[in-house]
Amino acid sequence: MRYKVAVLPGDGIGPEVTAQATRVLAAAGRRFGYDFSFQEGLIGGAAYDATGHPLPEDTLSLCRESDAVLLGAVGGPRWDHLPVHLRPEAGALLPLRKALNVYANLRPARVFPALAGASTLKPEIVRGLDILVVRELTGGLYFGDKRREDIPGGQRVVETLVYTTEEIRRVARRAFELARKRRKKLTSVDKANVLESSRLWREVVTFCAGDYPDVMVNHMLVDNCAMQLVRNPKQFDVLLTENLFGDILSDQAAQLTGSLGMLPSASLGDGVGLYEPIHGSAPDIAGRQIANPIAAILSGALMLRYSFGLEEAAAAVEEAVTAVLDEGYRTPDIMEPGKTEVSTGEMGRLIAERVERNG
Ligand SMILES: NC(=O)c1ccc[n+]([C@@H]2O[C@H](COP(=O)([O-])OP(=O)(O)OC[C@H]3O[C@@H](n4cnc5c(N)ncnc54)[C@H](O)[C@@H]3O)[C@@H](O)[C@H]2O)c1
Ligand SMILES: CC(C)[C@H](C(=O)O)[C@@H](O)C(=O)O
Ligand SMILES: [Mg+2]
């Protein structure tokens, strides 16, 4: 079987980590007898520099014609001065998510056994942690009308937060389905004490819950949730929330696992899936082969699972990550005394070799 994967390395550490993710996917293909063809496309600042636009039409067609998309990261200070429609984030990443209609963003935060001591929290608080953040990805403040206007004495900005019943329902149903396959607990996070959009969110989630009587549901205000995530994160199974809250809470959840460099994501709609680590282009460490490629590699595993249904291959990649961490190999962001520090490329090679040998 042949799968066509569009690879969009992007900016900063994006190319360094996607190179390791494709290396591991190729190894999984050799082991399990699948053929992955990787076709690269330009996105972000790299695309702007080469073509004058951060999301060239060619890239969009490549993604639409592929079976799945693997993205590194976009953005960086070099492009921050550009008008908003040409910036890597607002001009490329958000339009790509919208174009693929990937409204459900799955961000699993799992603490690998070897990394319970790498978190900044006490090991007993995070050991065994396994949370799935389900973030709505194509609505909310990110996509509402915005404008900036001059007023006497300064300026005035308007941002619009729009959600429809259907937008909430489709992501909620995905989250309930996922909760059903896990520990059957769903926490919906909102700001219903202030925001009208959150009141609708809560109503729709409550209505959907009627179809999933086996899933235990609770609602939590986002400020409390941020606190609970560091106080007692193991109370959570699936965390369902809107776009902006999900962005913030997932970076926070990532740190529970030891590093932002550990958290993968799958963005799913009804067509082509988009897979990306949740971290950004990390300009502070780019080009030095010290970035952690595990988030990108685990995003590849999510692609195997959710886009291709190759559960055995997905599990083999996750087991290989577990094994390599158990053997004591670490990139600098998760380094601890007595462990062996390796580069981005070495970490990718070790995981790929494991996958190919025995998972
Ligand atoms: N999906 C994306 O493309 C995406 C996501 C987030 C941020 N960004 C963009 O990236 C740029 C930088 O943003 P930022 O610095 O706020 O966030 P960031 O996620 O790039 O980095 C935050 C911190 O985490 C570290 N870090 C991130 N990934 C790492 C990895 N794999 N291994 C080791 N350390 C890692 C960085 O070195 C930095 O100290 C901005 O332009 C931002 O808009 C893009
Ligand atoms: C770069 C930015 C637009 C993006 C987001 O906020 O969605 C990023 O932070 C992420 O988490 O994927
Ligand atoms: Mg983010």
What are 59-116's pLDDT values in tens digits? 999 999 999 999 999 999 999 999 999 999 999 999 999 999 999 999 999 999 999 9
| Structure confidence at residue 333 (pLDDT) | 97
pLDDT score of 319 more than 60: yes
- Closest-approaching ligand to the CA atom of 261: 1
Q: Which CATH architecture has domain 1-121+261-359?
A: 3-Layer(aba) Sandwich (3.40)
**What mean pLDDT is predicted for residues 210-236?**
98
- Please tell me the distance from the alpha carbon of residue 154 to that of residue 156, in angstroms, as a whole number: 7
- The domain locations on the chain are 1-121+261-359, 130-256
- Which helix (H) or strand (E) covers residue 7, if one does? strand 2-10
**What mean pLDDT is predicted for residues 222-230?**
98
338 annotated to a ligand binding site: no
Tokens of 192: 């219903």
- The alpha carbon of 261 and the centre of ligand 1 are apart by a number of angstroms equal to 9
Q: Read off the pLDDT of residues 335-352 as tens digits, 9 standing for 90 and up.
A: 999 999 999 999 999 999
- The alpha carbon of 169 and the centre of ligand 1 are apart by a number of angstroms equal to 31
70 annotated to a ligand binding site: no
| Structure confidence at residue 119 (pLDDT) | 86
- Please tell me the distance from the alpha carbon of residue 60 to that of residue 46, in angstroms, as a whole number: 15
Q: Give, in order, the Cα–Cα distances in Å from 191 to each of 9, 141, 171, 222.
A: 35, 14, 17, 6
State which of 94, 247, 250 you would mutate to test the pocket of ligand 2, scoring each by most atoms of that ligand within 8 A of its C-beta.
247
97 annotated to a ligand binding site: yes
Q: Read off the pLDDT of residues 119-155 as tens digits, 9 standing for 90 and up.
A: 889 999 999 999 999 999 999 999 999 999 999 999 9
**What mean pLDDT is predicted for residues 252-259?**
95
Question: 1-121+261-359 and 130-256: same fold?
Answer: yes
| Structure confidence at residue 32 (pLDDT) | 96
pLDDT score of 332 more than 60: yes
168 annotated to a ligand binding site: no
What average pLDDT is seen over the chain? 97
ipTM over 0.90 threshold? yes
- Please tell me the distance from the alpha carbon of residue 359 to that of residue 356, in angstroms, as a whole number: 7
Q: Is the dihedral of CA 134, 140, 143, 149 positive or negative?
A: negative
pLDDT score of 50 more than 90: yes
- Please tell me the distance from the alpha carbon of residue 162 to that of residue 196, in angstroms, as a whole number: 10
Q: Which CATH number fits domain 130-256: 3.40.50.720, 2.60.40.420, 1.10.287.610, 3.40.718.10?
A: 3.40.718.10
| Structure confidence at residue 13 (pLDDT) | 98
Q: Which ligand 2 atom lies nearest to the CA of residue 247? A: 11
**What mean pLDDT is predicted for residues 14-21?**
98
Q: Which amino acid is at 196?
A: E
Q: Which ligand 2 atom lies nearest to the CA of residue 244? A: 6
| Structure confidence at residue 134 (pLDDT) | 98
| Structure confidence at residue 359 (pLDDT) | 46
Q: Which ligand 1 atom lies nearest to the CA of residue 296? A: 31
CB-based contact 208:176 (threshold 8 Å): yes
The proportion of the chain whose per-residue pLDDT surpasses 90, expressed as a percent, equals: 98
| Structure confidence at residue 131 (pLDDT) | 98
State which of 89, 248, 276, 299 you would mutate to test the pocket of ligand 2, scoring each by most atoms of that ligand within 8 A of its C-beta.
89
| Nearest Cα residue to atom 3 of ligand 2 | 89
| Structure confidence at residue 358 (pLDDT) | 74
| Nearest Cα residue to atom 7 of ligand 2 | 247
Catalytic residues: 142, 191, 223, 247, 251
pLDDT score of 299 more than 90: yes
- Please tell me the distance from the alpha carbon of residue 303 to that of residue 284, in angstroms, as a whole number: 28
- Please tell me the distance from the alpha carbon of residue 43 to that of residue 233, in angstroms, as a whole number: 35
- Number of helices (H) and strands (E), helices first, in the chain? 13, 14
- Please tell me the distance from the alpha carbon of residue 14 to that of residue 281, in angstroms, as a whole number: 6
